[in-house]
Amino acid sequence: MGHHDEYQVQHGKILTKPFFILLALVVIGFGLIAYRFIAGVGAVTGLSDGYPWGIWIAYDVATGTAFACGGYALALMIYIMNRWKYHPLIRSALLTSVFGYCLAGFSVMVDLGRYWNAYSFFLPSRWQPNSIMFEVALCVMTYSTVLIIEFLPAVLYTLEHSKWQWVRESAQWLHPRLLPDTDSLHSGLSVVSKAAGHVQVRLDKVLIFFIVLGITLPSMHQSSLGSMMIIAGDKLHPLWQTGFLPLLFLINCIFIGYATVMFESIISSYSFKRAYETHEISGLAKVVPMVAGLWMAVRFGDLIWRGQIPAIFAFDRNSFFFLLEMALIGGGAFMLLWKKNRLSPRMLFVSGAILMLGGGLFRFNVYLIGFNPGAGWSYFPSFAEFMITVGIIALEILGYLVLVKIFPVMPNPKKHFEEEVEEEAGELVADPVHARVFVGK
């Protein structure tokens, strides 16, 4: 695996000002989570028997996992569509996906009323395969594990090549009586490094099977996240209730995935003062209008087929949110039709953000805004409920900020372009793939 220097560790202090701000939000969120486990779900949420699911499901699970589809959408592009120039982007996308999915799972555990029974999912005697949620739950759990395995090479690389500076320093700092045997510590550390290298070689050989599993599983559960609301029947407004929900959710998560990669790449380049990865993300940006266009075609085709076009122009709450959803997705995708916009980091950022908002709003509409259990029920998230979601999002960003400074995650601009192009300049003429990279630059 000679190309580990395709990625680099982001240098910089870990304990920055944003770190402490995010940490404060995490502490508040987790304090409220502790209170939820003492006082019950009702004590911290605005939920009711009519609205049993709130923002923890609509945002953290249904929308958050779509924002975490960057890894899936990129893997689809690289490994299936054979576009290897996007490979440098995959680790940071994977890291976002790891956090998105693992924390969605964590949110579910906070949301579950009888969380101690969650082991039921591991008892085949309790499996209920007719349940869409059963499929989503198993699939999301498996996929979270697959994501961690896909990210492992970055961790193993660090373990293998670490000089263990901080361990040695803290060992020295300890009183000799507490840690007298520095030799065995050092030999222990070298065993860890060796083992990491050993595992890495073996993991490399099978990693492709996990990567493909990481493409198959989201295709399954992202569509099932759509199927999930079919059973709600008339409780979900006809603008959203359709048998095409699984297909719509699947396509939706792909363009959200690309939008998130665009958004995340620009925001991290900006905040880490790195060069923008405009070349790669403008390539992704070119695909977005096609995927979003396909989504819109299915969406409108379905509405026409079900005769729901008049509902769009009812100008009530549902039609307003429908139009907003369409304007955001259509607008964000439309911007990317022009090459000028695709080469501007600013426009890529704006369009990525708009597409995330619009794509996320579609999911919010399906899970919450278009959901009406009947007269007499209402829902608005309570402050505590909202702060728990904020705490979880803060933990996601915090984890990202810390891990990119420990593990080689960010693309290495030097290694990836300049050196490679120089080294292999002789091949360039006969090598269309590299020529593409070179010319594109």
Partner 1 sequence: MKSTSRRDFLKLMGLTGAACLATAAPLCASTEGGGESETAIAMLYDATMCVGCKACMAACKRVNMDQNNLSYEHLATDGDKLWDAPKDLSGDTRTIIKLYKESDTRFSYVKHSCMHCTKPACVSACPVKAMTKDPVTGVVAYNKNACIGCRYCQVACAYNIPRFQWAKAIPQIVKCDFCKETNLKAKGKPACGETCPVGAISFGKRKDLLAEAHKRIADQPGRYVNKVYGEKEVGGANHLYLAAFPFEKLGLPALKEESPAALSEHIQHTIYKGFIAPVALYGVLCAVAMKNKKEQEQLGHGEDN
Contacts of residue 405, defined as CB under 8 A and 6 or more positions apart, other chains included, come to 9, 10, 11, 12, 14
How far apart, in Å, are the Cα atoms of 83 and each of 249, 392, 399?
24, 33, 29
Q: Based on the shown chain and the rule CB under 8 A, indicate whether residue 2 belongs to the binding site for partner 1.
A: yes
* Distance, C-alpha 153 to centroid of its chain: 19
Contact between 128 and partner 1 per CB under 8 A: yes
How big is the site for partner 1, counted in residues (CB under 8 A)? 94
Q: Of the two residues 168 and 434, which places its CB atom closer to partner 1 in the complex? A: 434
Interaction between residue 250 and partner 1 (CB under 8 A): yes
In the region spanning residues 262 to 291, those forming contacts with partner 1, defined by CB under 8 A, are: 283, 286-287
* Binders of partner 1 in range 36-55 (CB under 8 A): 37-43, 45, 47-50, 52-53
Q: What is the CA radius of gyration of the chain?
A: 24
Q: What is the DSSP letter of 15?
A: S
Report the residue number, 4 or 363, with the smaller CB distance to partner 1: 4
CA dihedral 116, 120, 122, 123 (to 10 degrees): 140
**Burial profile 162-189: b = 16 or more Cβ within 10 angstroms, e = fewer:** eebeeeeeebeeeeeeeeeeeeeeeeeb
Q: For partner 1, which is the closer residue by CB, 345 or 373?
A: 373
Cα diameter, the chain: 80
Q: Minimum CB separation from partner 1 for residue 49, in Å?
A: 5
Q: Does 337 bind partner 1 (CB under 8 A)?
A: no
Question: Interaction with partner 1 in 97-116: which residues (CB under 8 A)?
Answer: 108, 111-115
Residue in 19, 121, 300, 438 binding partner 1, rule: CB under 8 A: 121
Q: Minimum distance between the CB of residue 366 and partner 1, rounded to whole angstroms?
A: 12
Residue 133 · residue 228 · CB < 8 Å: yes
Report the DSSP beta bridge partners of residue 371: 236
Give the shortest CB-374-to-partner 1 separation in angstroms.
Answer: 6
Q: Site mask, partner 1, residues 172-211, x = CB under 8 A?
A: --------------------------------x--xxx-x
* Touching partner 1, residues 296-325 (CB under 8 A): none
* Minimum CB distance to partner 1 smaller for 18 or for 243: 243
State the Cα–Cα distance between residues 199 and 347, nearest whole angstrom: 42
Q: Does 93 bind partner 1 (CB under 8 A)?
A: no
**Taking the complex as a whole, how short is the minimal distance between the CB of residue 207 and partner 1, in angstroms?**
5
